[in-house]
């Protein structure tokens, strides 16, 4: 009997054991949820998508229901105490279907972080999404996928402080309601809705109403009113709006929603802008010139003002996080007037791409342009047009790793300041300044100082010091430098800036396989330290024949 009982029990135990892995991997697995949590201490609403939803967290809303974070207080709303919204990186995996009333009435909301993690591809309603966010000043929604959205009514209404709003990538082909969409955005001056396709929109009433600062609405021929049934006061109280025609308070309906006889401006006429954008994911600073300047882009600087990308962090600079610089092909059409401190303190910058697209013909200031680019090893700026530049102070200073620098085409006829221009370029061995015309330079102090590896400076008789008032320590610690004479630590001022009795080498003296004697005068050979040699050696030799001293390279 006992033996007979064991068999079914054993089978049962075996079956349970076989099920354990299955139960372990599925029965207890918790699915990720999308939710929002509010921190009363910081007045921050954070959106997340994970398996750690806590008690008190708000589920996302659906349909026409208001979200929980909006109506959680006894008075029916806690929206007015929200000061900051954060989309956690985990929320990139969320797929909300409704953004109705998400930030409605958040009148103290000033900051939205991580909005790039909000994926809206499945969202059908964005009605009143930001309505009443009266403290928001900038809003960049260029990442929004709006292909499924049908309702945008009141989406930005009463955003009275909003000065910058980027909806330039909106796909509106399925939207039917745009009523009150930009109503009472009283600080907005420009809107780019050139991609708006409104063939299915039936309601445009009060769409731009009460936007008194609005001057320009960029649009295209895709903005049509063929399906529009309601358009009451579409442009009412837009007194400064000008498109194909100036504003007329008696014409405020949908008939003015066009680029030919109405208040819209054809996007094709939009003026291109020069700007730079920084990508935190790749630490890349990109320069562009087009009509698509995004929110957060930096304008080019002028005069002696530092550029925005240099001073944008709280500590006064974010230059040290820039690892790569790219000049987009479009930037060839830009005409900057100042390159002052463009890459100053970019200590981790290793790569510059497309520098041939940087047209410097109008630039007057290149002071500190590449100063402290400690990681750059090669820099070819032979394409630079420098005829209008007056300031080159510290342009390449403290570029410790720079081994190759091409400035051979520089036109310096108008430059007045070259102080510290190449100072602390401690890895450079050769400089070609044969095109430099320095007749107007008044300051050459410390110009080549601490260039301890520098052996040769090619120059011509256009490099003069006639106007130079400051030339102290011009060649300080250039211990390996040899020109017409080898370096002498007691002679380091502007008097040594020549090819006859100084440290410069005439470009006419080129490298040859071996020196040859072409006259009867005996040649004397010296090494770079000035020591007399019995015969030329491989490498750079100083050859003195009579009154003429030259430098030759023996291979």
pLDDT per residue, tens digit, the chain (555 aa), is 444 444 443 443 344 334 444 444 444 457 999 999 999 999 999 999 999 999 989 999 998 899 999 875 555 567 989 999 999 999 999 999 999 999 999 999 999 999 999 999 999 999 999 999 999 999 999 999 999 999 999 999 999 999 999 999 999 999 999 999 999 999 999 999 999 999 999 999 999 999 999 999 999 999 999 999 999 999 999 999 999 999 999 999 999 999 999 999 999 888 899 999 999 889 999 999 998 888 789 999 999 999 999 875 555 567 999 999 999 999 999 999 999 999 999 999 999 999 999 999 999 999 999 999 999 999 999 999 999 999 999 999 999 999 999 999 999 999 999 999 999 999 999 999 999 999 999 999 999 999 999 999 999 999 999 999 999 999 999 999 999 999 999 999 999 999 999 999 998 754 433 344 444 456 777 776 667 777 777 667 777 766 566 666 665
Please, what's the b/e burial string for 510-526 (b: 16 or more CB within 10 A of its CB; e: otherwise)? eeeeebeeeeeeebebb
Containing domain of residue 553, as a range?
509-555
Q: What is the spatial distance between Cα 193 and Cα 219, in angstroms, rounded to a whole number?
A: 5
CA 531 to chain centre: 52
Residue 534: what pLDDT?
Answer: 72
Domain membership of residue 525 (yes or no) is: yes
Q: What is the DSSP letter of 90?
A: G
Domain membership of residue 532 (yes or no) is: yes
Q: What is the spatial distance between Cα 29 and Cα 16, in angstroms, rounded to a whole number?
A: 19
Residue 22: what pLDDT?
Answer: 41
Domain membership of residue 98 (yes or no) is: no
Domain membership of residue 283 (yes or no) is: no
Domain membership of residue 522 (yes or no) is: yes
DSSP string, 294-308: PTTPEEPP-TTPPPT
- Report whether 7 contacts 15 (CB < 8 A): no
Nearest to 80 by CA among 106, 104, 116, 54: 106
DSSP string, 354-394: -GGG---TT--B-TTSSTT-TT--EEE-TT---TT--B-TT
Count of structural domains within the chain: 1
Q: How many residues would you count in the chain? A: 555
Please, what's the b/e burial string for 250-259 (b: 16 or more CB within 10 A of its CB; e: otherwise)? eebbbebbbb
Domain membership of residue 413 (yes or no) is: no
CA angle, corner 114, sides to 52 and 310, nearest 5?
Answer: 140
- 41: its two tokens: 């201490």
Q: What is the spatial distance between Cα 89 and Cα 235, in angstroms, rounded to a whole number?
A: 39
Q: Three-class SS of residue 92? A: helix
Domain membership of residue 104 (yes or no) is: no
Residue 542: what pLDDT?
Answer: 76
- Total-model pTM: 0.65
Domain membership of residue 204 (yes or no) is: no
Residue 29: what pLDDT?
Answer: 58
Residue 529: what pLDDT?
Answer: 61
- Report whether 153 contacts 125 (CB < 8 A): no
* CA torsion, ordered 32, 34, 35, 39, to nearest 10 deg: 70
- 9: its two tokens: 């029990």
Radius of gyration of the chain (CA): 35
């Amino acid at each position: 009997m006992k033996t007979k009982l064991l068999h079914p029990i054993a089978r049962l135990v075996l079956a349970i054991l076989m099920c354990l892995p299955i139960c372990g991997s599925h029965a207890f697995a918790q699915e990720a949820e999308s939710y929002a949590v509010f921190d009363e201490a910081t007045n921050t609403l954070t959106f997340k998508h994970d398996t750690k939803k806590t008690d008190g967290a708000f589920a996302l809303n659906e349909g026409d229901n208001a979200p929980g974070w909006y109506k959680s207080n006894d008075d029916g709303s806690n929206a007015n105490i929200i000061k900051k919204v954060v989309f956690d990186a985990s929320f990139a995996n969320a797929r909300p279907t409704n953004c109705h009333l998400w930030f409605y009435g958040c009148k103290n909301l000033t900051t939205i972080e991580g909005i790039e993690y909000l994926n809206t591809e499945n969202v059908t309603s964005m009605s009143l999404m930001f309505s009443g966010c009266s403290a928001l000043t900038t809003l960049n929604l260029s990442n929004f996928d709006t292909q499924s959205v049908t309702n945008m009514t009141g989406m930005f209404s009463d955003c009275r402080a909003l000065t910058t709003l980027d909806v330039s990538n909106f796909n509106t082909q399925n939207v039917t309601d745009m009523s009150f969409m930009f109503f009472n955005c009283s600080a907005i001056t420009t809107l780019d809705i050139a991609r708006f396709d409104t063939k299915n929109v039936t309601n445009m009433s009060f769409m731009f109403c009460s936007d008194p600062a609005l001057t320009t609405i960029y649009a295209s021929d895709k903005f049509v009113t063929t399906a529009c049934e309601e358009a009451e006061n579409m442009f009412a109280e837009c007194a400064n709006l000008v498109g194909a025609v100036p504003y007329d308070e008696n014409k405020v309906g949908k008939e003015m929603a066009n680029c030919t006889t109405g208040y819209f401006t054809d996007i094709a006429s939009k003026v291109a802008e020069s700007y730079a954008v920084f990508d935190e994911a790749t630490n890349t600073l990109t320069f562009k010139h087009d009509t698509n300047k995004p929110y957060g882009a930096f304008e080019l600087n002028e005069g002696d003002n530092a550029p925005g990308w240099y001073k944008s962090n709280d500590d006064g600079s974010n230059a040290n996080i820039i690892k790569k610089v790219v000049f987009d092909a479009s930037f060839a059409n830009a005409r900057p007037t100042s390159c002052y401190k463009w890459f100053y303190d970019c200590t981790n910058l290793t790569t510059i791409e497309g520098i041939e697209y940087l047209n410097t013909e109008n630039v007057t200031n290149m002071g500190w342009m590449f100063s402290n680019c400690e990681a750059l090893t090669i820099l070819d700026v032979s394409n630079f047009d420098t005829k209008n530049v007056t300031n080159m102070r510290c342009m390449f200073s403290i570029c410790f790793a720079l081994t190759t620098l091409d400035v051979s085409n520089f036109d310096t006829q108008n430059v007045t300041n070259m102080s510290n221009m190449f100072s602390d370029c401690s890895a450079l061995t050769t400089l070609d300044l044969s095109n430099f015309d320095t007749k107007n330079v008044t300051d050459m102090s410390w110009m080549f100082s601490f260039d301890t590896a520098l052996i040769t400076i090619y120059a011509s008789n256009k490099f003069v010091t006639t106007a130079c008032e400051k030339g102290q320590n011009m060649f300080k610690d250039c211990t390996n430098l040899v020109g017409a004479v080898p370096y002498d630590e007691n002679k380091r001022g502007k008097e040594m800036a020549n090819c006859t009795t100084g440290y410069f080498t005439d470009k006419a003296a080129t490298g040859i396989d071996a020196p040859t004697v072409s006259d009867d005068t005996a040649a004397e050979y010296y090494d770079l330290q000035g020591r007399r040699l019995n015969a030329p050696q491989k490498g750079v030799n100083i050859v003195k024949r009579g009154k003429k001293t030259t430098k030759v390279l023996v291979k």
